[in-house]
């Protein structure tokens, strides 16, 4: 059994500028997974940098409200929304609410630094 406690995971500032805690990454952990899973936060008024992933990515919004942009198309998101970002798409998310925007990120195949390209 492999259990991670979010509060005990180191928080970093990710390449896109979000506050991130990586929960599972089979490239770093001894897990038979094809994807990585992370917990992310964006402060009120903040946004991630426009970036592109070679892999697919899914955001699941836990709390807060925002606007997600994928290849120039923008949509409002909130708790309970799941967003799919296809490989190679230019993407970012902005916090449009008064509290933190909190979401889960799943990257498939598992996230690697060389698979992410900053566009700004």
Q: What is the CATH number of domain 23-118?
A: 2.60.120.10
Nearest to 80, CA basis, from 60, 58, 97: 60
Give per-10-residue mean pLDDT for the chain (120 aa): 94 94 93 96 97 97 98 98 98 98 97 92
Task: Map residue 112 onto helix, strand or coil.
Answer: coil
Domain layout of the chain by residue ranges: 23-118
pLDDT at 12: 95
Q: What is the pTM of this model?
A: 0.94
From edge to edge, which strands make up the β-sheet containing 56-63?
12-13, 19-24, 36-42, 101-108, 56-63, 82-85
- State the Cα–Cα distance between residues 66 and 13, nearest whole angstrom: 19
pLDDT at 120: 85
Which residue is associated with the tokens 């059994």? 1
């Amino acid at each position: 059994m492999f259990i991670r406690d979010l509060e005990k995971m180191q928080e970093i500032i990710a390449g896109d500028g979000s506050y991130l805690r990586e929960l599972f990454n089979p490239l770093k952990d001894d897990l038979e997974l094809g994807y990585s899973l992370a917990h992310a936060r964006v402060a009120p008024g903040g946004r991630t940098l426009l970036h592109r992933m070679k892999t697919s990515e899914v955001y699941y919004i836990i709390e807060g409200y925002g606007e997600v942009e994928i290849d120039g198309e923008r949509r409002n998101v909130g708790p309970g929304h799941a967003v799919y970002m296809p490989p190679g798409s230019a993407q970012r998310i902005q916090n449009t609410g008064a509290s933190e925007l909190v979401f889960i990120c799943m990257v498939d195949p598992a996230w690697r630094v060389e698979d992410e390209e900053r566009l700004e």
